[in-house]
Amino acid sequence: MDLENLCQALPKLELHAHLNGSLSMDTLKKLYKMQNPNSKSSEDTLMSIKNFSSLGECFKVFNIAHSLTTTPEAVFHSTYDTVKEFKEDNVIYLELRSTPRAIEGKMTKQEYVEAIIKAFEICKTDFPSILLKLLISINRKQGYKAAQDNIELAINFFKKYPQYIVGLDLSGDPMTGSTFLELLRKARLAGLKIAAHCAEIYQMLSHLSHVPNETETIDILKFKPDRLGHCTCIHPTLQGSSKLFNLLLDSKIPVELCLTSNIQCKTVSTYESHQFKYLFEAGHPICLGTDDKGVFHTSLSHEYKIASSTFGLKQEQLLKLCLSSVEYTFATLEEKQALLYEIEKFSKECNITY
């Protein structure tokens, strides 16, 4: 089997996907038509999604998706289509994450989350090969009150739907806002898992020096989230970052790596210099994710293919990457065993020994 087919056929686990960033052009067009039944110009309006050149610009792109997911019906269709596309890419476990939004007169945060769960329920019947979980996101930019509301919402939904709601995600524009660690502690006490975006950007100290956002990064590492996202600026070759790199290795916290996302947002300059290389070589727990497959025009298969061709990973190493991701999921023990079984079955069918 060639690399492309192997990466496509591998039973994969997606642990870092934001709902509104994952919407494909087909889904966006469908949502646009739902919102503007008489308009013929969806292409032009949506084309701007392709044109961005920095992390800041990428955040503007989310506004387009958000402008189309303003009703429970739109959130339902977004979720259903996204699950279907991941399933078609042979993803067997999807941990979707999303920031609940209230839209005056149209949708409450509660209804937003309910629409995702309703879609999950239907997907469970329509696509039984994919196991679904949801992390409720906290957008750092939206401030303390919104974070508090989302955590309360997550705790309540966790009590009602523990099979779907498994944790919290700390995300949003890293150039603004706080990390709300004391609020996350409360969520953890309630039994929720925590995935935190970490060290995505440099802090500008003066016009001469950029250093990793060290204090915040150390605070997050000390808090010990269950998983970390990106850790782009914790890089052994970057000025002022080797202390953080050692702290990260000592922490043994699994890191979700999204290669194309970091390249397209220009937070990493080349695939070859991506932190994947250093974490992989150090044997640190890592998994691959798409982040925003719609925004970055990628798929999980494609991310596996890039990792393999850039870092020379052999078939058995790709398989091991899938297998080890199982341990980092927020699934139950029984669910983890079922996922391991699927991957091992595939390895036997393809004669890949590891």
Contact set with Zn ion (CB under 5 A): 291
> Of the listed pieces 87-95, 166-174, 276-284, 328-336, which binds ligand IMP according to CB under 6 A?
166-174
Q: Answer yes or no: 200 catalytic.
A: yes
| Cα 304 off chain centre by | 15
Q: Which is nearer to Zn ion, 253 or 343 (CB)?
A: 253
171-205 burial: b if 16+ Cβ within 10 Å, else e:
bbbbeebebbbebbeebbeeebbbbbbbbbbbbee
Q: Which is nearer to Zn ion, 123 or 258 (CB)?
A: 258
Number of chain residues interacting with ligand IMP (CB under 6 A): 17
Nearest residue to Zn ion, by Cβ distance, number only: 291
Question: CB under 6 A: which stretch of 14-22, 29-37, 206-214, 244-252 binds ligand IMP?
Answer: 14-22
Question: What is the DSSP pairing of strand 227-230 with strand 193-198?
Answer: parallel
172 binds ligand IMP (CB under 6 A): yes
Q: Which does 109 bind (CB under 5 to 8 A by kind): Zn ion, ligand IMP, none?
A: none
E-state strands within the chain: 12-18, 91-98, 131-139, 165-171, 193-198, 202-204, 210-212, 227-230, 255-257, 286-288
Nearer to Zn ion, 30 or 101 (CB): 101
| Of 234, 328, 310, residue with least CA distance to 271 | 310
Cα(228)–Cα(315) distance, rounded to whole angstroms? 26
Residue 71 makes contact with ligand IMP by CB under 6 A: no
Q: How far is the CB of 279 from Zn ion (least distance, A)?
A: 17
The single residue of 85, 95, 114, 200 carrying the catalytic annotation is 200
325 binds, among Zn ion, ligand IMP, none (CB under 5 to 8 A by kind): none
**Is the CB of residue 202 less than 8 Å from the CB of residue 211?**
yes
Of these partners, ligand IMP, Zn ion, none, which one is at the site of residue 217 (CB under 5 to 8 Å by kind)?
A: none
Beta pairing class for 227-230 and 12-18: unpaired
Between CA 2 and CA 337 the distance in angstroms is 28
Q: Which is nearer to Zn ion, 8 or 137 (CB)?
A: 137
Structure-block tokens of residue 135: 């992390």
Alpha carbons 101 and 107: distance in angstroms, whole number: 8
Lay out the site mask for ligand IMP across 263-302 (x = CB under 6 A, - = otherwise).
----------------------------xx----------
* Closer of 71 and 137 to ligand IMP (Cβ): 137
Taking CB under 6 A as the binding criterion, the range among 85-93, 169-177, 241-249, 315-323 that sits at the site for ligand IMP is 169-177
Subset of residues 72 to 111 that bind ligand IMP, contact rule: CB under 6 A: 98-99
Beta bridge partners, 228, equal 196, 255
| CA within 13 Å, CB half, 263 | 16
Which of Zn ion, ligand IMP, none lies near 98, with the C-beta cut-off 5 to 8 A by kind? ligand IMP
The distance of closest approach from Cβ of residue 229 to Zn ion in the complex, given in angstroms and rounded to an integer, is: 5
Residue type, 304: Y
The residues facing 139 across adjacent strands are 171
CB of 47 to Zn ion, least distance (A): 24
Distance CA 11, CA 352 (A): 13
- Report, as residue numbers or ranges, the catalytic residues: 200
Query: Interface with ligand IMP by CB under 6 A: which residues?
Result: 18-21, 62, 98-99, 137, 139, 171-172, 174, 197, 200, 261, 291-292
